[in-house]
Structure 1
Amino acid sequence: MADDNAQGFVIGDVEVFPVAEWAGPYVPLDTLVPDLPPQAWRADEDRLVPDHLQDGRAVVALQTWVVRGGGRTVLVDTGVGNGRERPGNPLFHQRQGDFLERLERAGVRPEGVDVVVNTHIHGDHIGWNTHEMDGSWVPTFPNARYLIPGADDRHFGPEGGYAGGARPDDRLMYEDSIAPLHRAGQTVLWDGAHRLDGDLVLESAPGHTPGSSVLRLRSRGERAVFVGDLLHSPVQVPHPECGSRFCLDPRQAATTRVRVLERASDERELVIPAHFGGSGAVRVSKRGGEFVFRNA
């Protein structure tokens, strides 16, 4: 079903599984979620090691989630990509990997992808939107519609001065991974909410970026929600006030995180973040007025 040793889920009639570009210990815990007290990591250490925590470093997966059902193949986020100029991030800079081969081993050929969802515009979520051909960046998935939050397109694109020009990487990632899609006429920009079909709905979830979004899946009474970078580690579930160091608006991100976790608990949604190790997902509930998690 999935590539190599990746695990997956079945949500009603829909198959869901990750295809990893890279996974492993990434950064120290206090670097990834700087406002989280050390005792919070220790309190859940038995459930965090080894899938989410190894040798004092947070385990992170760069991966794409494949959603397959109803005769349609949807990709949720597309990783870093090969050959990118990302001087601000050594892990992303000029990477070379076999992601497309992994995707094909999972039974997904580029021409067979119908929809690509970018939950937001960051370099590790849009990279395989395109690939290099004859010296130009072109869409990797030639028959797909690319769904991109309009607020992020405005912020990270030329309209927003490439996120105000604060980081060279923002201009680079937009020009090699988003602009070619616009030129090819394959993008759909949306704001607020966007329904893909009867099973899948995109909803705005701002804070991490202006256009950050979640993708909700419902099939035959079962539910899941792809939350992108709303969570970087399960330890944030009992501490939703603590965001990652990558959030552009930490206060808004915290408010959004609480709202999404409340609904996940109430509606028993499987919570699927972009970067979790292990199975890649958690179940969320409330105990004594606080959120708790268990690995899926």
Structure 2
Amino acid sequence: MKARTLSDRLIGRFAYLYMTLFVIAAIIPFMTIVSTSFTDEQYIRANGFDIFPHAVTLDAYNYILGRGSSIMGAYQVTLLVTVAGTLVSMLLTTMMAFALSRREWRMAVPISFFVYFTMLFNGGIVPWYIVTTKYLHLYDNLPALIVPYAINAFNLIVLRSFISTIDNSIFEAAKIDGSNEIQLLFKIALPLSLPGIATISLFYAISFWNDWWLGLMLISDRELYPLQLLIRAITSNISYAASSGVNSSIAAAAIPKEGVKMATTVLTIGPIILLYPFLQRYFVKGLTIGSVKG
């Protein structure tokens, strides 16, 4: 008994040590990014990166935020797309996941197969672009940043699996009491699936927030640029200026190139980091979706 207790203690201590090392390994790169964004460019060139800022300056942030209306406009576009896109995606995904989880619906299995099939094969970028722009008219408008990502097949299958773990007798009892399918969804399935819904909502929010590809493909109006695409354009312009002629290289030398890269990273990941604590209590349980039956 004592040997077993000692073994359990050793395993517990090893687990704590492993998690401590893992946290340190994860937080050091983030501290380096934040530190570099506040460090003078000349110091970075001479001494490299460090986890603590030296020769503190706000040049990188002044350079980015000096674009003023462009950055704020891109933030507004990205916030709107993230909030609206997540709400639309969760509404559609939840309704479809609930329908596919209903065992008595004979079309659930065939449609689930077609959903899974889209994860393996697609028509390619050119057919997608033609359908999106010519037939759906999703070009240079906000729906172009939302509709193509409205339902993610992986998220749909995961949420369906979570809803499927709810005991079917609960739905049967509610139907005997006179509940219809809409009431089953919003009064039973949604409250009992809150951890899964919170986790999938976070996945959708991160996807919309980090996306720049739809903007690159479907947006030409600079006023509709999402944040990620605008920052990509800013960093690309800096790199282009640094690799151009002598005059451009002299001008580019005054730009805190490394600091700008790190500052853009801080500006883009900030809102998502603030969102995570509100969903943390659901996140761990949501990651175990479908692991426990009943």
Normalization by structure 1: what TM-score?
A: 0.24
Q: Could you say which structure has the higher helix fraction? A: 2
Normalization by structure 2: what TM-score?
A: 0.24
Q: Could you say which structure has the higher strand fraction? A: 1
Give the greater-gyration-radius structure (CA).
2
